[in-house]
Amino acid sequence: MPLKMDQKDRRLMLGGGVLFVALIVAAAFFSGNGTKEEIPSTYSTASGGAKAAYMLLADAGFQVARWEKPLKELPHGTGDTLILANPAQAPTREDKDRLKKFVSAGGRVIATGNFAGTYLPESNSLPIALGGVTRAKAVSPSQITRAAPEITIAPDARWESLTPAYPLYADGDQTLVVKYPYGRGEVLWWASAMPLTNSGLKEPGNMEFLLACARETKGRILWDEYIHGYRETLGSAMGNSPVKWLALQLALLALAVLATFSRRSGPISAPAAVVRLSPLEFVETLGGLYEHADTASVAVDICYQRFRYWLTKRLGLASNTPLEELRRAVEDRFALRDERFSAVMRRCESAKNDPYLQGPEALHLVQELDEFAARMRLFTGRKEKVG
């Protein structure tokens, strides 16, 4: 049945379509600058951007360039430094393997933020809920700490101290900047990107710190913009910019027009009966979903948060009680002196941020939590262990 529209409605539809196309073209033209995005991008002039740091490195004589390709296309030359400033998404396995080869061959990586740890060959970063701006002091002698004895940083993570990484800066007992060798290369990890942002660069010690970190570069400095959504091709750039959402709105508008017309003109049918799954079917469905999505870390996080909730509730402690204080309380209350307890709890905290956690290891962690819960009788009416 043909759609009947009068002349005024047809003009209104054509006008709306032309307006949406104009918005898409304008967004595609202006989105490449990203001048006000609050991400540490070299295109951004916002307070959280990093255009000032990019220009500073260029004016200081460094061979700095933007990298807008996947990490799997990193060059094989040695001496280059790659800056990963607060990645917005997890790397692919191919990208992570290529980054390992890049560092092993003599490359350097400067990674900032807790999520950047998923890119590194070795990482032991843990998130911090509310870090706030702090003054981190040098804790080890090096060329970097000699140039900047103190830096200003707003950490969103900390580095676990029981690792072979070389600590450079810390705030109390929290290590905020580390470096470690890997193959013939080196990795530097910062607790946040604040020292290289437009607002953070002017804070005491941050400019000297950034230049000192870059001074050890023997080749180019490649600033990764691919992780911020910038691409070399127009099609890829539009796919990672607000343009795609404008196109989606246009498509939704067209579907709404078609749906309302077909609803008025189509046949009337009775609604389908609602199927209510049993609890066991729900559990099997949810488990299959996690297995299909390969997100074992989510299952570990759910079990860990449930275990920690009931444990702190039974002990009368706050939910954010540090692990060491929680271990002492467990020993006093339940007379449980098992060295595996701290190791399992620490591994569960780091596993929830590990997108490559394998199913067997996740199952082992859940079984360990269930065993400790049974020994402490946390869950009323629970008789069997997972397995």
**Per-residue pLDDT tens over the stretch 335-365:** 887 778 888 888 888 887 777 777 788 888 8
**Residues 53, 197: contact at Cβ < 8 Å?**
yes
Amino acid 363: pLDDT? 82
Compute the distance between CA of residue 207 and CA of residue 153 in angstroms, rounded to an integer: 12
Looking at residue 312, what is its pLDDT? 87
Instruction: Provide the token pair at 89.
Output: 């998404």
Task: Please report the pLDDT score of residue 171 as a whole number.
Answer: 92
SS3 letters across 53-121: HHHHHHHCCCCEEEECCCHHHCCCCCCCEEEEECCCCCCCHHHHHHHHHHHHCCCEEEEECCHHHHHCC
Instruction: Please tell me the number of Cα atoms within 13 Å of 277 on its side-chain side.
Output: 8
Residues 6+ apart with CB under 8 A from 55: none
List the chain residues with pLDDT less than 50. 1, 32-34, 234-237, 382-387
Rounded to whole angstroms, how far apart are CA atoms 43 and 37?
Answer: 8
Nearest of 219, 201, 194, 228 to residue 108 by alpha carbon: 219
Question: Which amino acid would we find at residue 164?
Answer: P
Task: Compute the distance between CA of residue 128 and CA of residue 65 in angstroms, rounded to an integer.
Answer: 32
Q: Residue 57: beta bridge partners? A: none
How far is C-alpha 145 from the geometric centre of its chain's CA atoms?
27
Q: What is the pTM of this model?
A: 0.54
The angle formed by the CA atoms of residues 50, 55 and 61, to the nearest 5 degrees, is: 135
342: its two tokens? 């701290």
Q: Can you tell me the distance from the alpha carbon of 168 to that of 364, in angstroms, rounded to the nearest whole number?
A: 35
Residue with structure tokens 């920690």? Answer: 308
pLDDT at residue number 90? 83
What local confidence, expressed as pLDDT, does residue 17 receive? Answer: 72
**Residue 1: predicted pLDDT:** 44
Give residue 331's identity as a one-letter amino acid code. E
Task: Quote the pLDDT of residue 319.
Answer: 79
